[in-house]
Amino acid sequence: MKKADLVFIPSPGIGHLVSTVEFSNLLLERNEELSIIVLVMEKGKEHIPKLATHTNICFIELPHVEPPPDELRVKCIEKYGADAIEAHKNCVKDAIVKKILPNSPKLLGLVVDLFCSSMIDVANELGLPSYLFFTSGVSFLGFALYLPHRFDRVGREFEESDPESIVPGYINPVPANVLPNFAYNKDGYISFVNHGRKFRETKGIVVNSFLDLESHAVSSLSTHDLPPIYTVGPLINHKNQNTVKSKNHDEIMKWLDEQPPSTVVFLCFGSAGCFGVSQLKEIAKGLEKSGHRFLWSIRVVSEDKPPKQIENIEHKTILTEGFLDRTKGRGFTCGWVPQLDVLAHKAVGGFVSHCGWNSILESLWFGVPILTWPLYAEQQINAFQMVKDLGLAFEFKFDTRRYSDDIVKADEITKAVKYLMEEDNDVRKKVKDMSVKSRKTLKAGGSSYASVERWIETMLASN
């Protein structure tokens, strides 16, 4: 019999929902007393069928809430997102009061996503503990917590001419050109300043990372007056349970089966990563000149939302003339791609990635080194951390931004891909070593295993 409920409030993006469900599954495996309730905002409802589920995860779909005006989305996506989520406070409170509390033997608290910090107010109003679920790394958590202090001191957003910043969590001084886009936008900057202030009101901060990966960041933040930090990652669906497979899944995997071990360069830039036609042509030229085998997931800038996936029939009109014929057999181009299955395949030897945090953890889990090509969100500073602080990725670009007019030329891409695919180098060895550590940390005796136990015990003891 279940003795306690825990309510998760994720932001509606697929990466955040996947991490929430993976963590929920882990909690349920570790403690049979728990039941998990996930409140899903309207924009996240479409993803529910794609998520791995557990018998004791209950999804409650929240009603429609009128979003902020579209002009705000264009002006500042971070401000738009913060306002959109804050507008859900009343319906979240109603769901807890009317649907959850009357049927719950014990409600341990609310676990809010990093973009849902306004929901901490709901927990406070209801007299419930709140916990932060931080789906990026500990270092980026340090950056978010640093912003309120900087704002109180400086009173403005960043400028690209600013000097390097000493940010808790990072080993090296952080240059201005690797900061997220929102750091330069007044509204976006203030949104994150507000998030950083709210994080301190929680009873604990749960981070999708692990001690062996970010020991410096964990240590540096422990000296500040913060809620306890629990590293519980890497939270990835490494068992690939109950995932929905695309129609081209088998075709992709069959092609990989035909390739020699560690010979394929995998290019994938996340669910929102996309390029204009000019950049796609340069990537095609660069891959062809490199001579390496490749699997390339392509999305192009489009008026559609999300970015338009490119199907094979359209490749000939977008990529360089004759490219598909000349690379036939050693190259595979597609739209959607099963990233976990691809990274797990023995044929894959390198990953050209946007450096989203989930992708970083997945690449480390499978021991596949990354070539950094960040595009948006916190990807620039993730790439900086992986290369400069941790030595776990190959430097290509730190400050490339989506929709930028700067085109990366084919010769640069060719050189970088050849560098990535070198068999004997220190980065590849360090990534293989971190792969072993990422798996051990989730097992009994590992730091993430112990951290999960400590967090559960703390919650149960405080109620």
Instruction: Return d(Cα 338, Cα 342) in angstroms, integer.
Output: 6
Question: CA-to-CA distance for 130 and 133, rounded, in angstroms?
Answer: 10
Distance CA 351, CA 371 (A): 6
Spatial distance between the Cα atoms of 392 and 209, rounded to a whole number of angstroms: 15
Query: Which ranges constitute the DSSP H helices of 310-356?
Result: 312-318, 323-326, 339-344
pLDDT at 245: 61
Residue 242's pLDDT is: 45
pLDDT at position 313 is 47
Instruction: Provide the token pair at 401.
Output: 């931004």
Name the 3-class secondary structure at 10: coil
Q: What is the pTM of this model?
A: 0.93
What is the CATH code for 249-437? 3.40.50.2000
**Residue spans of the chain under pLDDT 50:** 241-242, 313, 403
**What's the pLDDT at 194?**
97
How high is the pLDDT of residue 11? 94
* pLDDT tens by residue, 334-364: 888 999 999 999 999 999 999 999 999 999 9
pLDDT at 406: 79
Q: How many CB atoms lie within 10 A of CB 429?
A: 11
Distance of CA 72 to the CA centre of its chain: 23
CA distances from 445 to 23, 208, 439, 441, 451 (A): 19, 18, 12, 7, 10
Domain with CATH 3.40.50.2000 in the chain: 4-233+441-461, 249-437
pLDDT at 56: 78
Q: Domain spanning 4-233+441-461: which CATH class is it, in words?
A: alpha beta
Cβ neighbors of 317 (< 8 A, separation 6 or more) are none
Output the pLDDT for position 68: 93
